[in-house]
Amino acid sequence: MFGFRFWSLSALYTAGSALLLGIPTLLIPNHLFSRIVPTSPQDYVIWIISALLLGPLLVRCSHSFPLAAPSAIKWWSCCLAWEAP
């Protein structure tokens, strides 16, 4: 259904979203933020699942990967339930 381009962009977006979610929550150790409550294994599971779901979603909504006729699909139609005129 989706080709190599989709999955490679999805891997990049997944890594980017993992960084954007992991740094402020201190799941990735850094000196920019502090955390009062210690991390638990559940925090890491939620972080990984969120990043894995965000990657393909962000690629699908930001790039045109037509499933039908390319002229009928707008860049925003993948995120909305209705198709714009």
> Domain-by-domain residue ranges, the chain?
4-72
Q: Which residue type sits at 73?
A: I
More confident residue, 20 or 65: 20
CA dist 43 and 20 (Å) reads: 15
* pLDDT band of 77, cuts 50, 70, 90: low
* pTM for the structure as a whole: 0.71
Q: Which residue type sits at 52?
A: L
CA dist 53 and 70 (Å) reads: 25
* pLDDT tops 80 at residue 58: yes
Query: What's the Rg (C-alpha) of the chain?
Result: 17
